[in-house]
Every structure is written in structure tokens, then in C-alpha cells.
Amino acid sequence: MRVVIAGTNSLALLIASYVKEMTSHQLIILSRFEQPQLKSHGFEVLLVDYDDDTSVKHALTGVHTVISTVTGPPQLQLIQAAVQTGVRRFAPAEFEGLPSNRRANDALDRDKTAALTWLQHYRRELESTTFACGVFYERFAPGGLAAYQIGLEFGLAGEGDYIMNMRDMRVQAPIYDPQGRTNVIICLTAMRDVAQFVVRALDMPSWPAQLTMYGEKMTVYQLTQLAAEVKGFPSASVQWHDINSLRSEIVMAEYEDDGERLLRAHDHVATIEGRYDVTDRSLNRRFPEIHPLRFRDWLAQVWSGQ
């Protein structure tokens, strides 16, 4: 089976490594730029121009499954080309919460809704699934998601851009649900484990509309307390948020034309609204031999010596 992974960020390369290690599938990585290092490690890399329909269709000719880690117009182009070239399966670049938990006119969308709409339209020609995993552990790593080449174009990829800055333990956390309880739930999964589940799912006889997984489930408040325990000292500054305080943040960010602050506030509102609460873990049940990393252990490891 010929499998294409679109993108060269850390998640894409983890998936590629597990495809190579755990399966006999033919693997192709799509990249917009030359990747001599990947080629030197035995990966087949195909250059693609997402603005050129012919280039994308050429890249997908003879392909069975596409795993996308690119968003926006490039992913929409991939979907169109996948249908035109007879690709059988497509997994869009979701890898967060359940799409059903997102509000209409989502400020964090990045054309994800458009991609899902196209996949629903072509569901008879192209089987697809959404991999839902909650929040990547790596959002809390040194350097944030940017260190893993994820979300660079979006503005929420830096260290400390979500809930807390682990380096100096400054916390801005959306801990209060609409009833005023500290019961805002998030699910979290290490990228390594997401990649393993995705690769195991390649050989499933059919794909449901969504495949779910997570490593840990906890409240945002519990997350902040765990982080303080791992770091060994209390938070230097703390601001607890509810919906009303975040709405005020949005108003101030718009007034000051502060794009990063605005996106961060929208992300925290989405957290309160349950965006990252994955209610089921179908892949964990299906593949019990995969033992996800504990968040505490991962956090202690990546911040050791920092």
C-alpha cells in the first residue's frame, strides 16, 4: 500500500518513522522544499507545489492513503487532487479535539471546516477520518509547538502561548466552566503516541468518521498544579479565567490590535467550551498494546535541567 504523508513537521516525521519501522507500506513524504537529510535517512521525498494542481495530482498518483499535516489552502488542494487521482483514504490535519466541539465561525479554524466539508461531500469516493487527540503534550515543551515546526503560521505556537509559561511559571488559565466550577476538562497526548495510533489505524479494514485517543484527561486547574509540582516551585503569577474575563480579553485585544493576545483568548474560550475534551478513546481500546506516556513523566523529562 502506498502511503503519503503531507508535511515535514515533527508529527509528520514521527508518523513517517513509525510507518517505516512498523509496516511494509511504501512511504512518500511530500515537501515544498528539498529535504536532503530525510533522503539520507532512506525516506522518499517528493517535492510538491500546492499552488500547482498538476504537481499535486502527480504526487498522489497511485496512492492509497494520505495523512495530511498541512492546513489551509494546501490541504484543500490535496483533497481535490486525492479525489481526482483515485486516492482511497484521507486523514486531514486535525489532531486536536472533536470537530463537533468547535463553534461556528471559529477564530482558530485555518480552513479546517472547509476541509471537512469537502471530505463529507466526497465521502463516497474518498474514505476519511478525523484523528482526535486533544492537546499535544508538546504545547508545554521548551520552545512550544514552534520547536516541532507546528503552527508556525498561526501565532499560537510559541513557548507559553497556551495556559502557562512553564519556564517561569506564569499562568493564565481558563479554569472556570460556565457554572463557575473548576471543572474545565482537557485531554492531552504526546505526539509520539499520536503517531503510533495513526500508523496502527492504517491497516484497519474501514475508517469511521472519527478515531479518538488521549494519553491523559484532567481539569485545567489540575494541569497547573501538576506543572508546579514538576517544576518544584509555585507559580510566579496567576490569573484564573472564566468566560466573562476572556470576553474582556478579546475586547481589549481587538482594541489594541494585538493579534496574538486575541488568538490566545479565543483558544482559552474554546477550552472552556470543551474543544479539547475527547469524550472517547476508541484507538486506546483497539490497540491496548500502545501505552501512552504519562503527562507528568513527559513534563519532568523535557524540563529536566531547564
Return the CATH class of domain 2-128.
alpha beta
State what percent of residues in the chain have pLDDT above 90. Answer: 93
Q: Which helix (H) or strand (E) holds 2?
A: strand 2-6
Q: 59-94: buried (b, 16+ CB within 10 Å) or exposed (e) per residue? A: bbeebebbbbbbbbebbbbbbebbbebebebbbbbb
Each residue of 93-115: pLDDT tens digit?
999 999 999 988 888 998 999 99
Give the helix ranges, DSSP H, for the chain: 10-22, 36-40, 53-60, 73-85, 112-121, 191-201, 220-231, 243-255, 259-272, 282-286, 295-302
CATH topology of domain 135-188+216-277+290-302: UDP-galactose 4-epimerase; domain 1 (3.90.25)
Cell of 48: 510538491
CATH 3.40.50.720 residue ranges of the chain are 2-128
Indicate whether 236 pLDDT > 90. no
State what percent of residues in the chain have pLDDT above 70. Answer: 100
Amino acid in the structure at residue 111: D
Instruction: Name the 3-class secondary structure at 236.
Output: coil
Tell me the average pLDDT across 64-69: 99
Q: Give the DSSP per-residue string, 204-226.
A: -SS--SEEE--SEEEEHHHHHHH
Position 233 scores a pLDDT of 84
**What whole-number distance in Å separates Cα of residue 162 and Cα of residue 43?**
33
Tell me the average pLDDT across 276-290: 97
Position 234 scores a pLDDT of 82
